[in-house]
Structure 1
């Protein structure tokens, strides 16, 4: 698309990859440094036009549309986050798979998937910085900052649309490994508990089981028992914020290393001796239909050394 000159009227040809995207979302992504309120004002006043016609924010772009942009005053302070490129380049070694449409990453714990809430940048900003030639890079889904494992980044809008549809239709299979407190009973295969999300003044998100919440379901299976702990596999059927962590807490088996929903006694009695310094939640397996070929793909992400070391210091049972 090339560099934009905000000082004059510009015309942009919309390619087929953008087809189906809402005009407001397209402009917000295109006009870095322009407040969202200004984007909607430009649309409302008819200063942004498609094929010489006024359009509403919900208009969906079509291939070969011609978009007219008026001159726009942009803040002198760039909205582009500062990215430490040395650290960003380290993410390359965590790539499990990449083709022309998609990246599957084994995200390390401790890095957010995107900037915000006091963080200058996350995985997606890092990849945009180290892949400046890539015209399109978008997160397909999210992982908590402290959760490691399989994360998808779309390199084509068509791939993003395909994978979002698969997520909506629940044909994407995401499986997590979690080390939890106590003895998880084999008979407990499902936790169904509605979840309600609250955002505190600090911006921190806290999720609680509440009848006012959204229906939520996680399926569990026991992988290995240890003295004082159990390694379980969790399969979230719904995709609520902090779902697995809160459902484990609700079931009476908090996840190890969880600073928000954890069990202090479990940490002192069992986890303190393992050297674990992070949340023990890892997205270890991901299955979906390849958006390019249609074939079913499954990717496995190995646990990092800290998780493996923590397990090695526990005493297996059975």
Structure 2
């Protein structure tokens, strides 16, 4: 139940800890999604909250929702202006040589009848930038923090696979696949004029500990 997964709430905003496997928007397979469950998140308001951004179905963690149209408009503007700080944590199928860096790789959407659509690095694409830092190393792999400075579709997944040359563990599109996509939206901070920041942190899911990372 999503009401048990609230990380932040006030009169304008809610941040929930979205579980992996739950899509935000209605998927083609007809399974339940966040949009279907907004009745759980009214908390006395008549108006349903609205998702401000998106997380991939298999990405867990912080998802921001607005509680009224004026807040939705301001929050969208903050995202567009790059004022929102997001931190993701991922396990990679290898370990970068460096401990930190920045990936500047424009992204373009491509599609084919055989494999459907995907994103790829392309100079003709939209600007996409991500800072990263290694958090832990072990078993020939690394757990990395990603700090996206733009919000392109599949940005972190492509930046890992093409920018670092090491895909995120479990990625079925840009990597070898597996039982779980090891990507988690760990925190979000949005400044607001005249009000406290919207700020939320989501603890690492059990699948990270089960993979041998994050015990410290």
Kindly indicate which of the two structures has a greater share of residues assigned to strand. Answer: 2
The residue number in structure 1 matching 2:90 is 178
The residue number in structure 1 matching 2:160 is 248
Whether the 8 Å CA contact 2:2–2:41 is kept in 1: the answer is no
Aligned counterparts, 1:90-129, within 5 A: 90-128=1-39
Judging changes above 3 Å, is the alpha-carbon distance between structure 1 residues 130 and 192 closer, same or farther for their aligned structure 2 residues?
closer
Judging changes above 3 Å, is the alpha-carbon distance between structure 1 residues 112 and 206 closer, same or farther for their aligned structure 2 residues?
same
Q: TM-score, normalised by structure 1?
A: 0.61
Q: TM-score, normalised by structure 2?
A: 0.88
Whether the 8 Å CA contact 2:12–2:66 is kept in 1: the answer is yes
The residue number in structure 1 matching 2:103 is 191
Report SS of the residue matched to 2:38: helix
The residue number in structure 1 matching 2:187 is 285
Report SS of the residue matched to 2:212: helix
Runs of at least 5 residues in structure 1 that lack an aligned partner in the other structure: 1-89, 268-276
The residue number in structure 1 matching 2:175 is 262
In terms of mean alpha carbon deviation, does 245-254 or 302-311 score higher?
A: 302-311
Task: Please report the RMSD computed on the Cα atoms of aligned residues, expressed in angstroms.
Answer: 2.6
Structure 2 residue aligned with 1:150, among 58, 62, 66? 62
Instruction: Determine if the alignment matches structure 1 residue 303 to structure 2 residue 216.
Output: no
The residue number in structure 2 matching 1:138 is 50
Query: Cα deviation per residue 1:157-206 (whole Å; 9 max; x = unaligned)?
Result: 12111211111111100110010122213355111111111245589431
Report SS of the residue matched to 1:307: helix
Query: Cα deviation per residue 1:80-136 (whole Å; 9 max; x = unaligned)?
Result: xxxxxxxxxx12111112222211001000010111333354112211377496324
Whether the 8 Å CA contact 1:285–1:300 is kept in 2: the answer is yes
Runs of at least 5 residues in structure 2 that lack an aligned partner in the other structure: none
Q: Which one has a bigger Cα radius of gyration?
A: 1
Number of aligned positions between the proteins: 214
Judging changes above 3 Å, is the alpha-carbon distance between structure 1 residues 116 and 302 closer, same or farther for their aligned structure 2 residues?
same
The residue number in structure 2 matching 1:220 is 132
